[in-house]
Amino acid sequence: MDPIKVLVVDDTILYRKVIGDVIASIPDAEVCGTAANGRFALTKIKTFKPDLITLDIEMPEMNGLELLEELKKTGMKLPRIIMLSTLTTRGGDMTIRALELGAFDFITKPQSGTSTENMEKIRTQLTPAVAALIQEKKFRSRLQNARATLARSSTSRQAELPKPTRPVTPPPRTAKRPISRPSEVVAIGISTGGPNALAAMLPKLPADIGVPILIVQHMPPVFTKSLAGSLNNKCAIEVKEAEDGDLLKPGLALIAPGGKQMRVEAHRDGIHRLVRITDDPPENSCKPSADYLFRSVASHYVGRATGIIMTGMGQDGFKGLQKMHDTGSVILGQDEASCTVYGMPKAPAEAGITNKVVPLSEMARALVNTLK
C-alpha cells in the first residue's frame, strides 16, 4: 500500500516543521506538501489530492474555517481533516464550527515548553488519528485486492462483495436486559466524531423527554463549554457544561467539563441526584472518562438507566458499561457504518453486552424507547 499523503497547512514555519517531522516518523505516512494559509492550500489540495490535511484554524488571508467553507462549496469529497487549535474560548468556538463543517478531529497546540516537548505533545495527539486512517486505507486496499481476485477466479458468475467504507466486523451479539424497567437517566460516552454525532442526535429529542442526560465527550478544557453552547442552540432540551453540584433534572443534558471527571452522587435529601466534578486521575488516558461516569450511574440507578456508547477511538466506556449491564441497565451502541471511528462501540458489541446496535439516524428514537 502506498503511504497516506498528508498536507500540512499552518502559517508558522515552526509548526509546519514540527508536524512534518511527526508525520515523517509515522510508518506509512508522508508529507506531500505544505501551505502557509488556506488560499495556498486550495491549490495544493487540487494538485496533491491528499488523504489527510492538518489544518491550523487561525491564519491570515484565508483561515481554516474559510478553507472548509470553500471546500464544501466545490462539492468535492473532503479528505480527512484534523484541525489545530488553541486552548482559548475563541479557539474552542472555531473548532466546534470546523467539526460541523466536516473536520474529522482536532488537536490542541501546546502553549508552552521546548520544541522537543511540544513535538512530543503533538505526536501523542496526532499519531492515533493518523494510525486510524492508515488502518482504514489498508483495509480498503485488501478489500479491493480480494474483490479483484474473486472476479478473476469466478467462472460461472460474477463474484460480488459488498463495499463497506470501513472494516467489517462479525454481527454483534445482543444482550437481554436483566431488569425491564423504564430508564430514569441516560449516560453517553463518545469521542472522535462526537460533536457531529451529538448534533445529529440530540436535536431529535423532545423537550419533555422526562429524564436527565449525562455526556462524556473526550475534549480538553474550554472546548466542552463551546460544544455545550453550540448544542444548546440546536436542541429542544437544555444542554450545558456541567458544574459541580448541578442537580440532575428532566430535560437537562450535562456535558462533563474537559480536563475533569464527572460522576453521579446522591443528594443529601436522599431523593435527588447531582453531579460531582472532580480532579481524579485520567482513566484509559481520558479525562473526562466514560468509564468513570458509567460506574457511578450503575451504582445510583440500578436497573433504571440507559448507557449509550458512540463513535470514538479506544475502549473508554467498556468496563463501565459492563457494570451497568450487570446491574440491569439497557445498553445501546452506535453501529459501525455510521461511526467516524468504530472503536468505543466495538468492544461492548463483541462482548455481547449491547442490547441494541443502531445507526446514528435511529439513536434518538432508540433512546426514547428505553424510557417507556
3-state secondary structure 53-110: EEEECCCCCCCHHHHHHHHHHHCCCCCEEEEEECCCHHHHHHHHHHHHCCCCEEEECC
Distance, CA of 366 to chain centre: 20
Please tell me the number of Cα atoms within 13 Å of 165 on its side-chain side: 8
**Interstrand relation of 80-85 and 185-190 (parallel, antiparallel or unpaired):** unpaired
Q: Which of 316, 325, 329, 335 is catalytic?
A: 316
Residue 359 one-letter amino acid: P
Whether the Cβ atoms of residue 260 and residue 293 lie closer than 8 Å to each other: no
Residue (of 181, 124, 156, 128) closest to 303 by Cα position: 181
Q: Which of 85, 183, 191, 289 is catalytic?
A: 191
Cell of 338: 455510521
Distance, CA of 322 to chain centre: 21
Residues 6+ apart with CB under 8 A from 293: 187, 189, 214, 216, 256, 261, 262, 263, 264, 320
296 catalytic per annotation: no
Cell of 150: 474473486
Q: Which of 56, 93, 105, 218 is catalytic?
A: 218
218 catalytic per annotation: yes
244 catalytic per annotation: no
Q: What amino acid positions are annotated as catalytic residues?
A: 191, 218, 316
